């Protein structure tokens, strides 16, 4: 199967290439795509160098699937052109997520809604993906009323320049460009994406709106505080969930143990709980610190961690591609 990766030279694009190789996706021909300034450069895939091509050459090559990770503006401009050529686009940007005509997919939850007619498929926000993978099986059993989430998000979510800024500050250098309005090393920024008129940031409202769309339930109330922390390799979330129905804690553990691609790490006596350091490079979503909220009825506290470049972006996109291929939708 011919696969194009648009934005192949970027942080997420590089991770997509890695995940495609690791999961042995049946790639008959890889078409790495990037902006004009990167055309002619090379990327490695399964130990072999592949020349980067431009957008027109990529469309002419007629891949079955194009996985986009090149920013919202590029997606808005080019995804329809790929789709018009019969190419199925899986888009990592926020461009199409809340478009009512496009599906927002986390394969463990709603891949079954996809059809051959879906030519532009949206990949959700990284912080939303890891939360809903854990919440959805509990929602099916107990019905969620309200979610309160605070995130602790890695600098890798901003991109390679943010990683450079963190390490430059840590090393006392002043040569790296500043992508954050304040220092990030030894600091915490309660500010991800731009602020909106309601006082929330775009990142926070993405979690609100995307959760409802993915879980196909507009009655779920979500409130979020998104925070950037000086870590590399994963996002963490403190999640408080109020259910309509009473739950048994033992049953909650069982449901999460049985949930696809969820790993329960919850042994406080042995200091075992999810951390970005140990989630780094892994495809699963990790959950721990599972405990009853003793101040509210039918309410649960959890700590959820995942590698934001993997399950939060590249792996989720590749899983969508796998579903399309396995079910004859491309």
Is 135 in the same domain as 118? no
Is 83 in the same domain as 191?
no
On whether the CB atoms of residues 317 and 123 are closer than 8 A, the answer is yes
State pLDDT tens for residues 45-72. Answer: 999 999 999 999 999 999 999 999 998 9
Q: What is the 3-state secondary structure (H, E, C) of 230-273?
A: CCCCCEEEEEEEEECCCCCHHHHHHHHHHCCCEEECCEHHHCEC
Question: Same domain for 143 and 251?
Answer: yes
Give the phi and the psi of residue 20 in degrees, each rounded to 5.
-55, -40
Rounded CA separation 12/323 (Å): 20
Please indicate, yes or no, whether residues 142 and 59 belong to a single structural domain of this protein: no
User: What residues have CB less than 8 Å from 260, skipping those under 6 apart?
Assistant: 108
- CATH number of the domain residue 103 falls in: 3.40.50.720
Confidence of residue 8 (pLDDT cuts 50, 70, 90): very high
Residue 288's closest CA among 178, 134, 91?
134
Query: Does 215 share its domain with 288?
Result: yes
Tell me: the pLDDT tens digits for 114-127? 999 999 999 999 99
Active-site residue list = 126, 235
Residues 6+ apart with CB under 8 A from 44: 17, 50
Query: What domain count does the chain have?
Result: 2
233: pLDDT strictly greater than 90: no
Does residue 57 share a domain with residue 195?
no
Residue 94 and residue 183 in one domain: no
CATH number, domain with residue 194: 3.30.360.10
216 and 294 fall within a common domain: yes
pLDDT at 20 over 90: yes
Q: Give yes or no: residues 118 and 182 share one domain.
A: no
Q: What is the DSSP letter of 313?
A: I
Q: Are residues 288 and 234 in the same domain?
A: yes
Domain span at 116: 2-124+313-326
Beta strands in the chain (DSSP E): 2-6, 29-33, 42-45, 48-51, 65-68, 88-91, 103-104, 120-122, 144-152, 221-225, 235-243, 262-264, 285-292, 299-306
């Amino acid at each position: 199967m011919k696969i194009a990766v648009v934005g192949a030279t970027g942080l997420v694009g590089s991770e997509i290439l890695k995940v495609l190789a690791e999961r042995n996706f049946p790639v008959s021909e890889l078409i790495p795509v990037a902006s004009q300034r990167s055309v002619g450069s090379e990327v490695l895939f399964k130990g072999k160098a592949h020349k980067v091509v431009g957008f027109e050459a990529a469309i002419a090559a007629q891949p079955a699937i194009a996985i986009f990770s090149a920013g919202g503006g590029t997606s808005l401009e080019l995804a329809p052109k790929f789709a018009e050529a019969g190419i199925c686009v899986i888009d990592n940007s926020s461009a199409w997520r809340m478009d009512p005509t496009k599906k927002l997919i986390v394969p463990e939850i709603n891949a079954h809604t996809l059809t051959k007619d879906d030519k532009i498929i949206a990949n959700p926000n990284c912080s939303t993906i890891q939360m809903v993978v854990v919440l959805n099986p509990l929602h099916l059993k107990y019905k969620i009323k309200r979610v309160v989430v605070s995130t602790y998000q890695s600098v890798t979510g901003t991109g390679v320049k943010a990683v450079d800024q963190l390490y430059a500050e840590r090393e006392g250098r002043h040569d790296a460009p500043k992508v954050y309005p304040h220092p990030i090393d030894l600091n915490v920024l309660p500010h991800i994406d731009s602020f909106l008129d309601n006082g929330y940031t775009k990142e926070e409202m993405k979690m609100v709106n995307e959760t409802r769309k993915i879980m196909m339930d507009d009655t779920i109330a979500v409130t979020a505080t998104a925070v950037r922390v000086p870590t590399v390799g994963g996002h963490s979330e403190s999640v408080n969930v109020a259910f309509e129905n009473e739950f048994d804690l033992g049953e909650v553990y069982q449901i999460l143990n049985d949930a696809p691609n969820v790993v329960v790490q919850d042994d406080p006596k042995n200091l075992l709980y999810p951390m970005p350091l140990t989630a780094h490079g892994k495809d699963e979503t990790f959950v721990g610190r599972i405990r009853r909220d003793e101040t509210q009825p039918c309410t649960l506290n959890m700590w959820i961690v995942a590698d934001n470049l993997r399950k939060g972006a590249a792996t989720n996109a590749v899983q969508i591609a796998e579903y399309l291929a396995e079910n004859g939708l491309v």
